[in-house]
Amino acid sequence: MSAQIIPVDPFDYVVFGGTGDLAERKLLPALYHRQVDGQIVDPTCIYGVSRAEMSDDDYRNFAHEALKQYIKEPLDDGEVARFLSKLHYVSIDAKSDRGWDVLKGLLDADSRKQRAYYLAVGPSLFGDIATGLQAHGLITPETRIVVEKPIGRDLDSAHALNDTLGEVFAENQIFRIDHYLGKETVQNLMALRFANALYEPLWNSAHIDHVQITVAESVGLENRADYYDKAGALRDMVQNHMLQLLCLVAMEPPSSMDADAVRDEKLKVLRSLEPIREGNVERMTVRGQYSSGASNGGPVKGYLEELEGGESNTETFVAIKAEIANWRWAGVPFYLRTGKRLAKRVSEIVVSFKPVPHSIFGPAAGRMIANQLVMRLQPDEGVKQWIMIKDPGPGGMRLRHVPLDMSFAEAFDVRNPDAYERLILDVIRGNQTLFMRRDEVEAAWTWVDPILKAWETTEQPVQQYTAGTWGPSASIALIERDGRTWHEG
Ligand code: BG6
């Protein structure tokens, strides 16, 4: 079985930060894959932009190396040549007038094409680039701009950044990427909920006991100390990815997949989150930082050693008991946890249903375990619905907890696309459903800011955890206090 491919109209994609890490690891490989699958047609052009002086050929070599390094499947020489021929390079200094006119000359050569600017650069350059584009007449009414997180480091800075973009672009031109929304299982969550009659009647506090969302990583700082130490896990993962996942689990059914219909519902969830402040922060959150230990089969340094002697209180792990104060979810905790250098890389959403109200089976049948729906984002994407069945055989009635198991790799004979492949072309299609609207980003900060503030004022300690474990023991206590346990992924 394979997905139906619908080509998009020819476009010009301009990647600021064209020689950076994101372009190299994600954007160029994603565009190559979409070309191979027949979705990108001539005369599409992709422009790498950065400050460095470089020729088109140098850029093509850079891109070729990126494809070799980051694409797992064998490369097709003909496709590679075709892809590289679409690439061009322009040197622009975002803080001066240098280079803009060259870009304008290239883009104006065929101004009917859909145009998108991807800002794969730090947010401190968003303002300069947006105004540079405007000042040099590079924005048509159809132009779109794509921005990566972090969108601010608190509500005020997010507001300022959104204002800056808003001075130049209309909201329907701004595509704020959260790459978690491009992951297959995340989109499948919407399919499961809204394309099946089975779940929705049970999707509420009458039938669901609690929800767990885990995004565990085994990697550490990965040479991103400068950014990460100023951010920490709450800003880096919770404010965006984890809250977006929570929204998709908790939102009311939107009336359609129309971008604003979906985003309106997500916004309502964000605005219904119970605030966590000084008075309850110690009960509702745990923050941790890894010390040396073992990961991926070898010894690894602790966070402070990775920082090379720096002192830091930055959390590399966070667990939160979140509550949604609305009719559907009152009394159903959403336990969130994410961290670096955990026991393994696994991301999943676990929906735990309530136990049956009464058991007709005697003690010999064994323990009755409540149903769980486990949506695995990575690795090995898939969905498992855990149910109780009778142990096969002629003996007495004994019950067993087994999964109805849908592994996507086994069920579908298709390559699992990277999240960027979907998102990067949604920009060209003008589909904002999987992108964050301004008010969503700001509502997420409105909930996160008081937690950050409360951590400071209460001086809630950052608990150490050994690299390669599941985080500080306080995280286990956070959920066990409620008579529940973390799902073992
Ligand atoms: C990024 C964070 O947004 O997501 C990183 O900045 C994190 O710290 C990454 O490692 C995780 O993404 P994925 O797709 O590998 O789960």
- CA 108 to centroid of ligand 1, rounded, Å: 36
Report the separation in Å between the CA atom of 393 and the middle of ligand 1, taken as the mean of its atom positions.
46
Regions of the chain short of the pLDDT cut 70: 1-3
State how far the Cα of 67 lies from the Cα of 421, in Å rounded to an integer: 14
301-355, pLDDT tens digit by residue? 999 999 987 789 999 999 999 999 999 999 999 999 999 999 999 999 999 999 9
Given the CA of residue 217, which atom of ligand 1 is nearest to it?
A: 10
Place of tokens 């969302």: 213
Q: Going by CA atoms, what residue is nearest to atom 2 of ligand 1?
A: 236
pLDDT tens for residues 395-442?
889 999 999 988 877 777 777 889 999 999 999 999 999 999 999 999
Distance 361 CA to ligand 1 centre (A): 46
- 397 C-alpha to ligand 1 centroid (Å): 46
**Nearest protein CA to atom 9 of ligand 1, as residue:** 237
Specify the residue with its C-alpha closest to ligand 1, atom 6.
236
Strand ranges (E), 71-207: 87-91, 114-119, 144-147, 174-177
Amino acid identity at 471: G
Q: Which of 33, 64, 88, 241 is catalytic?
A: 241
Tell me which residue has its CA closest to atom 5 in ligand 1.
Answer: 236
Q: Which domains does the chain carry?
A: 11-148 (3.40.50.720), 181-480 (3.30.360.10)
- Tell me how far apart the terminal alpha carbons of the chain are, to the nearest angstrom: 28
Centre of ligand 1 from the C-alpha of residue 121, in Å: 16
What pLDDT does 3 receive?
61
Q: Where are the alpha helices (DSSP H) in 354-437?
A: 408-411, 419-429
Q: Which atom of ligand 1 is nearest to the CA of 227?
A: 6
With the most atoms of ligand 1 within 8 angstroms of its CB, the residue from 176, 217, 347, 376 to mutate is 217
- CA–CA dist 140, 101 (Å, integer): 15
Of ligand 1's listed atoms, the one at least distance from the Cα of 179 is: 14
- Of ligand 1's listed atoms, the one at least distance from the Cα of 183 is 14
Q: Which atom of ligand 1 is nearest to the CA of 149?
A: 3
CA distance 322 to 336: 7
Ligand 1 neighbours (beta carbon < 6 A) = 179, 217, 236
pTM: 0.95
For residue 241, the ligand 1 atom closest to its alpha carbon is 3
CA of 279 from ligand 1 middle (Å) equals: 31
Q: Is 241 assigned a catalytic role?
A: yes
For residues 340 and 316, is the Cβ–Cβ distance under 8 A?
A: yes
68: left (phi over 0), alpha (psi -120 to 50) or beta: alpha
Q: Degrees (nearest 5) of the Cα angle 133, 106, 26?
A: 70
For residue 442, give every residue at least 6 positions away whose Cβ sits within 8 Å of its Cβ, in sequence order, or none: 155, 158, 159, 162
Asked if residues 285 and 460 have their Cβ atoms less than 8 Å apart, the reply is: yes
Q: Ligand 1 centroid to 316 CA: how many Å? A: 13
CA distance 74 to 64: 13
Q: For residue 384, which of 374, 394, 392 has the smallest C-alpha distance?
A: 374
Instruction: Determine the residue of 181, 219, 237, 418 to mutate for testing ligand 1's pocket, defined as the one with the most ligand atoms within 8 A of the Cβ atom.
Output: 237
pLDDT reported for residue 1: 42
Instruction: Evaluate whether 369 touches 401 at the Cβ level (below 8 Å).
Output: yes
Structure tokens at 50: 């950065």
Residue of the CA atom closest to atom 13 of ligand 1: 180
Give CA–CA dist 470/476, Å, rounded: 9
